[in-house]
Amino acid sequence: MLPYVGMACVLVLVWIAIALIKAPIQESVESSVEDVKLGASLKRLAANKHYRFGVLAQFFNVGAQTCVWTFTIQYAMTAMGGNEVSGGEILQYSMIVFLISRFVMTWAMQYLYPARLLMIMSLIAMALCIFMTQSPNLAGVIALVSISACLSLMFPTIYGIALEGLGDDTKLGAAGLVMAILGGAIMPLFQAAIIDSAGVVVSYVVPAICFLLVGGYGYFDMRAKKGCADGKSEVGAEALKDMEMGIAK
């Protein structure tokens, strides 16, 4: 209780300071201009399909990550018949794998397009989740730990892909992506409901579905980039054709 009581006391002091300190009053004209800019930015972001899908992908990514790690101990206990201590050790191994994989994935991005790597790792993570539901034993626990290797690149990769090309809307767009961590509070509820009805082994279909949706975003980004590249090449070909016709004339 002590850490939480301490945090509550700090928050109370912050609120008191806010109430006592007089904040500078901005002119109404400046505030109205800011409101207009904010509204326009929100409209542009809402109309941007690439960004909207990025927020959803981040939502399901964080949801999957929370699901995988939250119920690691329960799965390890069910699969190997251990206790909370041995299950906690499995969770520690997952964190170590996550840390090492972050450096490996950063190196791999030098050779693979980030969205392609995101799609591949998401599909691998989905396959590992499905394998876990079919093999609740040592192999399933190894698969569970291996999922952390796939998770290591997802959050920053989705973050970077979704913000690409937003320009002046990048700051507000970044806030939306950070708010997508709400998935970590919602998706475990679905998995917990399945645990209550069918057991922890079957419940890993929930992160499997999340990973499938994250992989879909990687595929969507690849198709979008390919479409842009094809469009540019067609425009270039038409311009070259017009130039040749002009020279002939």
DSSP class of residue 113? -
Query: Which residue, chain included where needed, has tokens 């291996």?
Result: 146
Q: What is the pLDDT of residue 235?
A: 38
Average confidence (pLDDT) per 10 residues, the chain, 249 residues: 74 79 57 60 85 93 94 91 84 94 91 91 96 92 94 92 85 87 91 93 95 94 73 44 46
CB count in 10 Å sphere of residue 114: 20
Q: How many CB atoms lie within 10 A of CB 224?
A: 15
pLDDT at position 211 is 96
**Cα dist from 130 to 11, 61, 144, 186, 215, whole Å:** 43, 17, 10, 21, 15
The number of C-alpha atoms within 13 Å of 52 and in the hemisphere containing its C-beta is 8
Q: Please give the pLDDT value at position 236.
A: 41
How many residues comprise the chain? 249
Tokens 């017009």 locate to: 242
- Angle (nearest 5°) at CA 162 between 37 and 225: 115
Q: Where would I find the H helices in the chain?
A: 2-20, 28-47, 49-70, 72-80, 84-108, 114-134, 138-151, 154-163, 170-179, 183-198, 205-248
CB-based contact 121:113 (threshold 8 Å): no
Residue 77: CB atoms within 10 Å: 17
Domains and CATH numbers, the chain: 48-223 (1.20.1250.20)
| pLDDT of 118 | 94
Give, in degrees to the nearest 5, the angle at Cα 186 between 183 and 191: 110
By CB atoms closer than 10 A (0-12, 13-18, 19+), residue 130 is middle
pLDDT value of residue 225 = 78
Q: What is the DSSP string of 23-43?
A: PPPPPHHHHHHHHHHHHHHHH
